[in-house]
Chain A
């Protein structure tokens, strides 16, 4: 069998083995004790490229992608329009098949676009500095909480109970490593103590709503000597006030909305920005601008004494990668949307979500679970268990919302973005009416 991904011929190998001075390749593996060797494995036989395409296409066809059905599912992963230029740029193998830009002179493409990314994240969040990217919003939040513990020397992490449950879970996993306690506090009657390193909130929260008294909250957090961490939806920042303007010390967010497909949950992108004073405690890669001997501007990885390869066990984090290609997608997306486009996307989400919410709230048996300001997600109380409602919607070819009945009785979390047409919304409303009526 000749593999297309291996270039040496049998004659090449013979010549190379002769140059090495061994009779066979087996001699090169002599250090591996015989009892650790295997001759065969239980794997399926190799496929040619056409057969591979056939098999994977068949596997893909066993799924029902949300581009073929109206979809009202959010909960941390969002359908937003991706301009064609995004795929064109990140598909270039000069970006896709490079590695971490250790050799700056031949990596300026990666480095300069990362500097763009950091700049755009700072603009979006109204923060001073941003890193080059993290795994996803949940791990970015966890790293922010660890950073707060490092900055304050305190051993308890506080977050609001309205933070996405998966984010809370990841914070707990990371906290277990560092032996930190985690308190999930209700938003009303906040009891922050002197032992808390931070308060982490989500804006809008898991249920889609903004905190009503964010100024008072940030004052309380700072009076307690803790850091105020905000996890924000970057699309919402096209329309809503950025966390940097209401006292956030660290802002994290999910960058998937910025030009990446849903991809069944990953790869996504953690946004991470903070105030200047915490720069040297920040986790992750950072790119800075400098110049060469001729005075030409160039970019390098910098402030590396925080990082694992230099600081080893005293590093701020063990993270190495920066989700570079996903961050590049976000950079191209934001450049393509620009000043006007991002606001337009955010407004489309806002108006369509409010239109859908108003229509559904008027249906008999349905109501909105919360009052207050929301962006593109909201919780509807259904006349029947949400799991049944979702099943009935799917039978009609509609992907419904997220069942949040463990948190809100008969609660269904719906998401409406610029990708949902009015026709989609009318179909959802009509189908919900039928489902409600038949219950």
Chain B
């Protein structure tokens, strides 16, 4: 988002409106073979309503729109649980190498040994980082990684004749996808409360844990940004009851090179390459969500995994695999960026990442705690969750604070999540931000806290400087307009 006056109503005109019959932005070859007979007209398309733009108009349109976006490269983006770290530019260059970008997934294996070697090594390294035994890179995103993990739990239990285990426990401090994922796995979801320290309530867990439980899905550190020190006991309790411990690894940034899920007793974990391993978020994908598992569960990993036979790399299907989760082998183009990131960092680099991520979050905590309510008063890990409850008492909602931050030049934090914190403000600075950037951000939030006291209207009407004002979301949902239509045909 680079300032400048917004054009009068850029949102009112799409490529469909900008074109003119007879214009084109592409240049295609003339046919070099004799034309074949086309099938009868009932098989053919009558009309194709796509834009007709010149190339320069097309470029200007998409460039103008890009300037309305806030991004990591334009500024601080402390969106909690999203790990909006800087994305190294060398990765983009490497991903475009023809030896990676122009590989067909069904080429003979002997022509793609470099790509398979890359995947094989990445599998090994992710296993090493998580302390688990085997990895599949196939899941397309974190949510699909979760689904994969839960289906592995289901397949494992089915093999043991324990289909009676129909319940999955999900702490109230878990990621929002977890309950939806458990439901897609055919499980019933039981919420487990947190205690007043922000940890899993051990009594609540003990009373929910019986022979009908398949697994617990634990986000660690949790969405309060807190590491549950009872994790070892939790794993023990589950295993004693014949249930599995599933780990949501979305917050791994806090633990890189310091602590491993496998050593804590987790059985299956998914990771997010687009969070921890610095691949660009793309405005909402593509991500990548590899799954790691303990040895006895490796046989259930999705197809394919990369194996080594002698000095050849091959794609293989684990014996009791839950099957395919995607068309091919996962998001290779994303995975290779994660590979490059790991190669650039090494172990020492990973430890620096977690150290700086945790220092940055605690620094924000220390600077803001006087102005904003801190519901769990202890050191945090990679992110800190405040409550806007004090400001709400003055009639200013967290939503308003978020919008006001835009005026100060920052992307707002995650708001109203986790659900267990009233008026939540969830701030994840990441390791790539400087002390100066954090100071500027904290100064802005402190100024907004003062505004909430002294001139709340300024906050409630924010943003004042964004390309567009607050949008009418209620009407958008009630009378949905979800596509362009030619004027006069605004149905249904």
The total number of A-B Cβ pairs within 8 Å is 682
Q: Which of A29, A238, A292, A345 contacts B258 (CB 8 A)?
A: A29
Q: Which of A25, A40, A265 contacts B330 (CB 8 A)?
A: A265
Contact of B141 with A321 in the complex, beta carbons under 8 Å: yes
Q: Which of A115-134 contact B (CB under 8 A)?
A: 115-116, 118-120, 122-124, 128-130, 132-133
Residue of A nearest to B414 (CB): A102
Contact of B62 with A113 in the complex, beta carbons under 8 Å: yes
Point out the residues of chain B lying under 8 angstroms from A340, CB to CB. Answer: 24, 52
Contact of B24 with A338 in the complex, beta carbons under 8 Å: yes
Point out the residues of chain A lying under 8 angstroms from B282, CB to CB. Answer: 95-96, 98, 323-326, 328
What 0/1 readout, one digit per residue, does chain A (281-301) give for beta carbons within 8 Å of chain B? 000011111111110111110
Q: Which of A40-97 contact B (CB under 8 A)?
A: 40-47, 49, 52-53, 55-68, 71, 73, 75-77, 79, 81, 83, 85, 87-89, 91-97
List 6 A-B residue pairs with CB atoms under 8 Å apart, sorted by A's residue number. A16-B360, A29-B259, A169-B324, A266-B333, A318-B143, A399-B108
Q: Which of B190-239 contact A (CB under 8 A)?
A: 226-229, 231-232
Contact of B482 with A288 in the complex, beta carbons under 8 Å: yes
| Extra pairs beyond A21-B366, A339-B51 (16, CB < 8 Å) | A5-B86, A7-B435, A92-B63, A97-B72, A100-B281, A106-B467, A110-B283, A264-B328, A265-B327, A266-B105, A292-B471, A296-B12, A303-B477, A308-B177, A320-B143, A338-B25
Complex: how many Å from CA A27 to CA B362?
A: 11
Contact of B326 with A41 in the complex, beta carbons under 8 Å: no
Residue of A nearest to B477 (CB): A302
Contact of B70 with A89 in the complex, beta carbons under 8 Å: no
The answer, yes or no, to whether B358 is at the interface (CB within 8 Å) is yes
Contact of B469 with A345 in the complex, beta carbons under 8 Å: no
The answer, yes or no, to whether B325 is at the interface (CB within 8 Å) is yes
Contact of A75 with B106 in the complex, beta carbons under 8 Å: yes
Complex: how many Å from CA A128 to CA B481?
A: 11
Complex: how many Å from CA A299 to CA B277?
A: 30
The answer, yes or no, to whether A13 is at the interface (CB within 8 Å) is yes
Residue of B nearest to A26 (CB): B355
The answer, yes or no, to whether A181 is at the interface (CB within 8 Å) is no
With both chains docked as a complex, state the minimum distance between the C-beta of B467 and any C-beta of chain A, in angstroms. Answer: 6
The answer, yes or no, to whether B165 is at the interface (CB within 8 Å) is no
Complex: how many Å from CA A333 to CA B362?
A: 45
The answer, yes or no, to whether B88 is at the interface (CB within 8 Å) is yes
Residue of A nearest to B336 (CB): A56
Contact of A5 with B88 in the complex, beta carbons under 8 Å: yes
What 0/1 readout, one digit per residue, does chain A (348-379) give for beta carbons within 8 Å of chain B? 10111011001000000000000001000000
Contact of B38 with A298 in the complex, beta carbons under 8 Å: no
Contact of A46 with B327 in the complex, beta carbons under 8 Å: no
Looking at B26, B179, B472, which has the most chain A CB atoms within 10 Å of its CB? B26
Point out the residues of chain A lying under 8 angstroms from B180, CB to CB. Answer: 308, 311-313, 315, 317-318
With A75-B106, A113-B62, A170-B325 known as contacts, the answer to whether A5 contacts B346 (CB < 8 A) is no
Point out the residues of chain A lying under 8 angstroms from B74, CB to CB. Answer: 93-94
Point out the residues of chain B lying under 8 angstroms from A254, CB to CB. Answer: 327
Contact of B97 with A56 in the complex, beta carbons under 8 Å: yes
The answer, yes or no, to whether A241 is at the interface (CB within 8 Å) is yes
With both chains docked as a complex, state the minimum distance between the C-beta of B41 and any C-beta of chain A, in angstroms. Answer: 9
Point out the residues of chain A lying under 8 angstroms from B52, CB to CB. Answer: 338-340
The answer, yes or no, to whether B393 is at the interface (CB within 8 Å) is no
Contact of B480 with A288 in the complex, beta carbons under 8 Å: yes
Point out the residues of chain B lying under 8 angstroms from A95, CB to CB. Answer: 66, 69, 71, 282-283
Point out the residues of chain A lying under 8 angstroms from B395, CB to CB. Answer: none
With both chains docked as a complex, state the minimum distance between the C-beta of B130 and any C-beta of chain A, in angstroms. Answer: 10
Contact of B16 with A119 in the complex, beta carbons under 8 Å: yes
With A62-B114, A77-B106 known as contacts, the answer to whether A137 contacts B327 (CB < 8 A) is yes
Contact of A16 with B66 in the complex, beta carbons under 8 Å: no
The answer, yes or no, to whether B42 is at the interface (CB within 8 Å) is yes
With both chains docked as a complex, state the minimum distance between the C-beta of B405 and any C-beta of chain A, in angstroms. Answer: 9
Complex: how many Å from CA A276 to CA B86?
A: 40
The answer, yes or no, to whether A179 is at the interface (CB within 8 Å) is yes
With both chains docked as a complex, state the minimum distance between the C-beta of A434 and any C-beta of chain B, in angstroms. Answer: 19
Complex: how many Å from CA A326 to CA B66?
A: 15
Point out the residues of chain A lying under 8 angstroms from B344, CB to CB. Answer: 5, 46-47, 49, 52
With A266-B328, A267-B334 known as contacts, the answer to whether A108 contacts B468 (CB < 8 A) is yes
- Which of B28-36, B290-298, B446-454 participates in binding chain A? B28-36
Complex: how many Å from CA A291 to CA B26?
A: 33
Q: Which of B43, B353, B365 contacts A6 (CB 8 A)?
A: B353
